[in-house]
Chain A
């Protein structure tokens, strides 16, 4: 099994909210957590919520300090997730890449027309 790093950004929490304040991380760097385990507690102007982990994996980096305000779409946490060596490395990981995160591999979905 190989590992691949995946960065999870602050999801759109709905209701036109553009940012959230990190209240308390529920994990630490080095922790191995399951999908849907509590990841981070954040507060918006409307409520306090616990965001569950979108992935199973090992926490490699937390991108925000507690009490820090994070805009929706900014990096929140990076996981190392196990990937099958033989699995095709398609670029579909359920996230929108940020501008500075270059895809590791370009996947051409249509054959060239020329």
Chain B
């Protein structure tokens, strides 16, 4: 698995921030181009940014059985072990949020704080078992069509990833206990419907970004400021 490890120029006494990108993108596209490393650098935070399997410069198997949540979590834990990191603040976007949640459930001692961006409790991949990704009109089909043609993406690997994720729909329980949670989503993000209620049920908080949707919330200043403040608490 390829990952970026970006030390801060003015390191604060805190754990690194693990940034987990969304479906069909990569660390560079989801986070770096959206200006996140600089913001976290200024906040004194080291950034760890993997390309999740099937994405970016990491391996891209085309067997959907290799894209179950536990595979992603195993990749992440192996990376944290390799880096010698006991714990991190995990910040996800979209599919990356679901995986951050799974990481916190599997290894709660490795996650200090949890941020779920562009994510809600609804099953974003409902119906994918019977149709091909991108063929329907669900919010996820729109996401798939947007990312499938991006350079560097492997459509077969992405389809396998979508099916693998769809075979294990997100379940709200059990919840990661004892880890502070922040949810952030665009006011017009249909993929993240129910984010506020999920935050309430988790005893966490929710920040809504006015006017933004699933595609353009990630670069928003409101999102960055909310995350930096939450991670600094």
Contacts and interface: CB of A to CB of B under 8 A. Distances in A.
B221 interface: yes
Nearest to B215: A48
A61 interface: no
B152 to A, nearest CB: 10
Contacts of A49: 33-35, 219
B37 to A, nearest CB: 11
A46 B220 contact: no
Contacts of A38: 35, 38
Nearest to B217: A48
A49 B146 CA distance: 15
Nearest to B30: A47
B215 A41 contact: no
Given A46-B146, A46-B150, A48-B215, A41 B33 contact: no
Contacts of A15: 150-151
A26 B215 CA distance: 19
Nearest to A26: B221
B25 interface: yes
Contact of B219 (A45, A46, A48, A52): A48
Contacts of A52: 35, 38
Interface in B4-35: 25, 29-30, 33-35
B146 A41 contact: no
Contact of B221 (A41, A46, A47): A41
B182 interface: no
Contacts of B171: none
A4 interface: no
Given A26-B221, A48-B216, A41 B35 contact: yes
Interface string B148-166: 0011000000000000000
Contacts of A41: 35, 219-221
B218 interface: yes
Contacts of B146: 45-46
A9 to B, nearest CB: 19
Contacts of A48: 34, 215-220
Pick the most buried of B38, B151, B215, B219: most chain A CB atoms within 10 A of its CB. Answer: B219
Interface in A6-36: 15, 23-24, 26, 36
Interface string B208-233: 00000001111111000000000000
Contacts of B33: 47, 49-50
A43 interface: yes
Contacts of B217: 48
B73 to A, nearest CB: 26
B151 A47 contact: no
A36 B32 CA distance: 13
A47 B35 contact: no
Interface string B42-66: 0000000000000000000000000
8 contacts: A23-B216, A24-B220, A38-B35, A41-B35, A45-B146, A46-B146, A48-B217, A49-B35
Interface of B: 25, 29-30, 33-35, 38, 146, 150-151, 215-221
